């Protein structure tokens, strides 16, 4: 994990951009085929979105089950060079001969760090925690559950704040180094795998569904953090307005998805994600009523069993209905209005909290990959012709199992592209 020297040139078979489950898989599989890989992640830690979840469907195991295996395969793997806090500034060339200029942004914490946490304890600066979608704060010097690499990081926006000298002084290993500078390196590779993943569709754009206006309307990704032991409520799902218990909750499927005005496609994971989250609520509140409003339930392949299991639960109710409006009632309760997509009949229900099941938007829709890589109409990476091959959700909406399979295939695709 050592940072290369400024100006260094690195030669590799593949450059993998994005250190989520797909990028890690591509890097590991390529290395196990004997290839030299540089794996680049823009955040301070690997893991991507999966690290933010409470549990995975369909097995309902915690994310470290899958992540830890990958971290173990990366630890001591001398064929994968991992660069965190790194971005690709520019790339040139094509299949078989790509050159990329990278910036490695400073961590302000060096390899002496033992993750003891003394720096964070001494840190006087608190900021909203983006990882918890602003539902809590974090220190300017921070660490994450399941962090890989296991090193603290100083928020770059605050590294110049004189108050952070207290963090440096608290570290008995001299690991906090606020004078660190960015490093620029060049990677010469035969191909690039682009695994930059997704972000949630912006629920603020769904102006009739009350997100951002009514405190008890949250999104599915926020619910993952609310249910997670490392999240803002230490895993207790409470409604945000008063931290109250949940007696009745609604899940709003296709919130912005399959909608020409928002995301025209189906992300393919939101129905299973809501069924998973219904189980989180169910475990914490055995008496709670859970109402799931859907256009149609999409749980392909083996996920059908997962759905069938939830259907048997006497407290989970599935309603055919497209939710058109959420209003606020007394005590910050919510009125959810849904139209039955077959009969046209509109029904209203009062609940204490509503979860918007928003879909996945590929990061490539906003930040195009280099080398004029073709994208499809929704912004997913199209073909490998440019020398850049998409992997995971950068190439299509997918769950973890499909992302892993697709990422393994992307290595072959990247190798084939070099021969054309």
Binding mask 329-368 for ligand FAD (x = CB under 6 A): -------------------------------x--x---x-
Q: Which of residues 83-102 bind ligand FAD (CB under 6 A)?
A: 87
Regarding 396 and contact with ligand FAD (CB under 6 A), the answer is no
Regarding 13 and contact with ligand FAD (CB under 6 A), the answer is no
| Beta pairing partners, 128 | 137
The stretch among 118-126, 184-192, 311-319, 398-406 that binds ligand FAD (CB under 6 A) is: 398-406
Phi-psi label, residue 7: left if phi above 0, alpha if psi -120 to 50, beta otherwise: left
Regarding 321 and contact with ligand FAD (CB under 6 A), the answer is no
Could you say which of 392, 410, 411, 414 contacts ligand FAD (CB under 6 A)?
392
The stretch among 35-43, 174-182, 205-213, 286-294 that binds ligand FAD (CB under 6 A) is: 35-43
Least distance to ligand FAD from the beta carbon of 84, Å?
A: 9
Could you say which of 4, 93, 191, 197 contacts ligand FAD (CB under 6 A)?
197
| Chain centroid to CA 234 | 19
Asked whether the beta carbons of 109 and 118 are under 8 A apart, the reply is: no
Q: Which of 19, 64, 10, 13 is nearest to 39 (CA)?
A: 19
> Of 93 and 256, which CB lies nearer to ligand FAD in the complex structure?
256
Q: Who's near 247: CB < 8 A, 6+ residues apart?
A: 285, 287, 288, 289, 352
Q: Who's near 25: CB < 8 A, 6+ residues apart?
A: 70, 391, 392, 403, 404, 407, 408
The stretch among 286-294, 301-309, 310-318, 397-405 that binds ligand FAD (CB under 6 A) is: 397-405
Q: Give the count of beta carbons closer than 10 Å to the beta carbon of residue 322.
A: 18
Regarding 198 and contact with ligand FAD (CB under 6 A), the answer is yes
**CA distances, 132 to each of 109, 137, 277 (Å):** 23, 8, 16
Applying CB under 6 A, the residues found at the interface with ligand FAD are 17-23, 40-43, 48-50, 53, 56-57, 87, 195-198, 220-221, 269, 273, 276, 360, 363, 367, 392-393, 398-401, 403
């Amino acid at each position: 994990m050592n940072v290369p020297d400024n100006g260094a040139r690195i030669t590799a078979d593949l450059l993998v951009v994005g250190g989520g489950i797909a990028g890690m898989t591509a890097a590991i599989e390529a290395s196990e085929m004997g290839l030299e890989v540089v794996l680049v992640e823009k955040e301070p830690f690997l893991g991507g979105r999966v690290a933010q979840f409470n549990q995975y469907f369909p097995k309902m195991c915690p994310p470290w089950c899958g992540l830890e295996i990958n971290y173990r395969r990366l630890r001591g793997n001398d064929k994968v060079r991992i660069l965190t806090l790194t971005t690709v500034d520019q790339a040139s060339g094509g299949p078989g001969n790509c050159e990329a200029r990278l910036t490695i942004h400073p961590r302000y914490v060096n390899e002496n760090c033992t993750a003891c946490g003394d720096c964070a304890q001494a840190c006087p600066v608190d900021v909203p925690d983006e990882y918890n979608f602003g539902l809590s704060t974090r220190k300017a010097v921070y660490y994450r559950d399941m962090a890989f690499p296991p090193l603290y990081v100083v928020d770059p926006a605050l590294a110049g704040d004189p108050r952070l000298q207290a963090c440096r002084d608290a570290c008995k290993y001299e690991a906090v180094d606020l004078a660190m500078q960015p490093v620029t390196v060049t990677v010469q590779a035969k191909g690039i795998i682009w695994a930059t993943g997704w972000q949630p569709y912006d629920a603020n754009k769904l102006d009739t569904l009350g997100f951002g206006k009514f405190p008890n309307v949250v999104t599915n990704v926020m619910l993952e953090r609310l249910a997670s032991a490392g999240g803002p409520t230490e895993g207790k799902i409470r409604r945000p307005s008063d931290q109250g218990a949940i007696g009745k909750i609604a899940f709003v499927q296709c919130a912005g998805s399959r909608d020409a005005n928002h995301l025209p496609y189906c992300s393919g994971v939101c129905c299973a994600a809501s069924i998973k989250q219904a189980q989180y609520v169910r475990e914490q509140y055995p008496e709670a009523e859970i109402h799931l409003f859907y256009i149609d339930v999409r749980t392909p392949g083996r996920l059908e069993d997962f759905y069938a299991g939830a259907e048997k639960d006497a407290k989970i109710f599935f309603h055919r209905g497209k939710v058109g409006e959420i209003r606020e009632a007394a005590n910050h309760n919510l009125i959810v209005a849904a139209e039955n997509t077959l009969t046209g009949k509109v029904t209203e229900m009062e609940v204490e909290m509503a979860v918007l099941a928003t879909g996945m938007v590929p990061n490539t829709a906003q930040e195009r990959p280099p080398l004029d890589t073709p994208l499809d109409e929704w912004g997913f990476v199209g073909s490998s012709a440019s020398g850049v091959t998409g992997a995971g959700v950068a190439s299509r909406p997918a769950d973890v199992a499909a992302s892993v399979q697709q990422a393994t295939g992307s290595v072959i695709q990247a190798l084939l592209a070099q021969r054309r």
